[in-house]
Structure 1
């Protein structure tokens, strides 16, 4: 008997809620419920953004995609920049692809959030190098910090926002090993200091 009563009361609540929701929608039918873009506190960039993978797109397709994102109301795009591709040998940088992406994002009126990660073979510990484990953290965090500083020095006028490493809280993105918060904190600290030394306005 008690279960039947609870069932009836539950149904009544569902019906009442539905009627109230319908009345609310009808009352606001003539209103514009689209919220205007708002900036994040203390930052002159729209709040809405999206993660993208733009590398490898032809220039025309890249420009079209970025224009679509801008028209959709996004203000920033989160794009990964792979250390392995940019610095394949110590001190030897290939910026061509990164230049193309950063220029296209900026020309589209979007703010890039640069995700820096991926260790080249020369920066890996021997075991990670043998396993071709490019998402393992570098053996020497100072190597990554120097790369991050070079990136910030080159793109300081166009890139303000940075993320250090992609998903370091899951094993596949931290060398398929146990998560190491202390080690990641060291990597983050060293990279952040290097970036800010090159660009005092950087946000990490």
Structure 2
């Protein structure tokens, strides 16, 4: 019997290589970088304004119009005192203050109350300009305009006058009625405006008889088509013919000359701005 012996080959294990060690060399900064110096900022000099050397302007004859909506009244009146003015004008958009026949907007009136109070505390007279009838009082609403029933203006003006009594010194009845965008819903008419203002004046006189009443100031237009606008001077003459002087204490005007320098005139349009230079209404003289 022959014995067969099977040999088993043994493979020696592979040696696990030793991980390479990182060698860190010290950083040698042979040459330090040169820092660029910060340039010196030359302050811009405060521009010099000419000093007024004439007679001091009478405080009670100077005023400014402001718009209020969630304003800081203390800051506003701080600025007004700095200006040294005696009047402040605020436009009261009727439609925002009476959104429904038997509803008054508390938030709007609350802010207006605060303004009137602050003005009186600071010795500044208040002028309220009241226009823009509510949508519920008008047949059309795409543009602002008067109410269909003018007696509604009587009621609202009486409400205002009763609310503020002697704390509001003056009221301007309506605004720029010679423009379609302020008198939409009926044809432009100075006679109709005087009728509306007569109704509004009745309301004020019933509650604050000593308040000064000012007629709506026509806008300077340069247009006289009778549809979009009526020339302000012509419209004002028509107001006088319709009896406006029997209704109010003063006539309102808007002598806009902002489009041209005070020493320019319509006779020299080449020195005027590119627009608003073709009609005397756009110049100071």
TM-score, length-normalised on structure 1?
0.71
Does 2:177 correspond to 1:168? yes
Mapped partners of 2:83, 2:197: distance in 1: 33
- State how 1:1-204 maps to structure 2 within 5 Å: 32-37=53-58, 46-53=60-67, 55-59=68-72, 62-94=73-105, 95-125=109-139, 128-129=140-141, 131=142, 133=143, 135-175=144-184, 178-204=187-213
Larger Rg: 2
- 1:21 matched to which residue of 2? none
Q: What residue ranges of structure 2 are gaps of 5+ in the alignment?
A: 1-51, 214-285
Mapped partners of 1:185, 1:63: distance in 2: 38
TM-score, length-normalised on structure 2?
0.52
Matched residue of 1:77: which SS?
strand
Mapped partners of 1:74, 1:104: distance in 2: 14
Mapped partners of 1:177, 1:63: distance in 2: 42
Structure 1 position 67, deviation (Å): 2.0
8 Å CA contact 1:52–1:78 kept in 2: the answer is yes
Instruction: Tell me the number of residue pairs that the alignment of Structure 1 and Structure 2 aligns.
Output: 159
CA RMSD of aligned residues (A): 2.0
8 Å CA contact 1:118–1:137 kept in 2: the answer is yes
8 Å CA contact 1:148–1:191 kept in 2: the answer is yes
Mapped partners of 1:109, 1:165: distance in 2: 26
Stretches (4+) displaced over 6 A = none
Change in 2 beyond 3 A, CA 1:36/1:121: closer
Mapped partners of 2:100, 2:203: distance in 1: 20
Q: What residue ranges of structure 1 are gaps of 5+ in the alignment?
A: 1-30, 39-45
8 Å CA contact 1:67–1:108 kept in 2: the answer is no
